[in-house]
A = this chain, B = another copy of it.
Amino acid sequence: MERDEVIDEFRAYLREHNLPVTPQRVAVAEVLLLRDRHFSADEIENELRAQGISVGTATVYRTLEVLVRSGLVVERDFGEGFKRFESARGMPQHEHLLCTACGRVVEFQDDRLDRMSTLLAEAHGFVTRSHRLVIYGICSECQKTGSGL
């Protein structure tokens, strides 16, 4: 799949909803959709600044709102005191491993876990809608360097 296809999808979404396609919106979308990372609003702003593009904080947040509504981006809260955003591409339902030393986020998907989660919910009379698993630990890199010890 072409890298810019996702951006075009966003452009299409904006047009369909009569929302102006501004360079700022596209710039924010590019950071988020063309990379495989979890960005905080602040990181996005810094990333853009590093690229020489200046986008106001408010605009970053407002664009993130649109991106989430478009379904192209997903909002995550790992209890760090701020939110992170990631492309919704590919992995529909996945879990997160968060390194408490360096903040790195690793994603994975496991069918057995999905099934177990549904069964556990049923056992308590719940009909599952979704679930979220975050495992906090130390990644292999940080284990080597001894960071956060």
Contact = CB atoms under 8 A, between A and B. Distances in A.
Interface string A123-146: 111111111111111111001000
A140 B126 CA distance: 6
Contacts of A120: 95, 97, 108, 110, 113, 135
A120 B117 CA distance: 14
Contact of A135 (B106, B110, B128, B134): B128
A20 interface: no
A135 B136 CA distance: 17
A140 B121 CA distance: 10
Interface in A49-106: 77, 79, 83, 95, 97, 99-100, 106
A130 B136 CA distance: 5
Number of copies of this protein chain within its complex: 2
Contact of A131 (B121, B126, B134, B143): B134
Given A77-B79, A120-B113, A134-B132, A125 B100 contact: no
A112 interface: yes
18 contacts: A79-B79, A95-B120, A97-B121, A99-B126, A106-B124, A112-B116, A113-B116, A117-B133, A120-B135, A125-B140, A126-B137, A126-B138, A127-B137, A128-B135, A129-B137, A132-B132, A132-B133, A132-B136
A130 B113 CA distance: 16
B133 A133 contact: yes
